[in-house]
């Protein structure tokens, strides 16, 4: 099959267009998107900077980031939190129900359903037996018996 001149032009046209586009792009100078100062800052590296001297500063007044209306501040009670919830008061653990079957051991402690391995009131349920539960925490271990 013989190519005629029209086919040859269509085959070479993409290569000619690509070469022409490359030469036009190399001649055109595009203004940089950054100003000279921004170009200088873009080369900043925090690794090159160092703190020469550290000075301790005491912050005396720091404004709250949350704005509270004056009316709300005036009506808000000034009772300390320790007065509302005294520190060190622990809730007593009450066992309400123990369920021990062939493949299931569950209990209800302080209205919470737990199984072996669950966390409850800062401790972990280690063992559930027919009439008592072993709870281990930072202080040690504690056996809880069902309420009669």
Q: What is the pLDDT along the chain (148 residues), one digit of tens a residue?
A: 566 878 888 888 999 999 999 999 888 877 768 888 888 888 777 777 777 888 888 888 888 788 877 766 666 667 777 787 777 666 788 888 999 988 899 999 888 899 999 998 888 999 999 889 999 988 899 999 887 6
Q: Are 128 and 107 in contact (CB under 8 A)?
A: yes
Q: How many angstroms separate the CA atoms of 14 and 10, rounded?
A: 8
What's residue 65's pLDDT? 82
- CA nearest neighbour of 90 among 110, 119, 105, 70: 110
pLDDT digits (tens, 9 = 90+) for 112-143: 899 999 998 888 999 999 889 999 988 899 99
Q: Length of the chain, please?
A: 148
3-state SS class at 108: strand
What's residue 89's pLDDT? 60
Q: What is the DSSP string of 119-142?
A: EETTEEEEEE-SSEEEEEETTEEE
Q: Are 143 and 132 in contact (CB under 8 A)?
A: yes
- CA nearest neighbour of 92 among 129, 135, 126, 138: 135
What's residue 19's pLDDT? 94
Q: Are 138 and 147 in contact (CB under 8 A)?
A: no
- Give the H/E segment covering residue 114: strand 112-115
What's residue 15's pLDDT? 93
């Amino acid at each position: 099959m013989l190519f005629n001149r029209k086919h040859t032009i269509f085959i070479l046209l993409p290569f000619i267009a690509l070469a022409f586009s490359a030469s036009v792009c190399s001649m055109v100078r595009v203004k940089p998107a950054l100003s000279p100062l921004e170009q200088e800052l873009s080369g900043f590296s925090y690794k090159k900077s160092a703190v020469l001297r550290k000075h301790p500063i005491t912050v005396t007044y720091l404004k709250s980031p949350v704005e509270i209306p004056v009316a709300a501040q005036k009506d808000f009670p000034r009772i300390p939190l320790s007065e509302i919830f005294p520190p060190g008061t622990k809730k007593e653990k009450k066992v309400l129900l123990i369920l021990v079957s062939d493949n299931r051991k569950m209990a209800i402690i302080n209205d919470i359903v737990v199984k072996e391995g669950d966390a409850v009131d800062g401790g972990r349920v280690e063992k559930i037996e027919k009439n008592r539960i072993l709870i281990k925490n930072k202080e040690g271990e504690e056996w809880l018996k069902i309420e009669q």
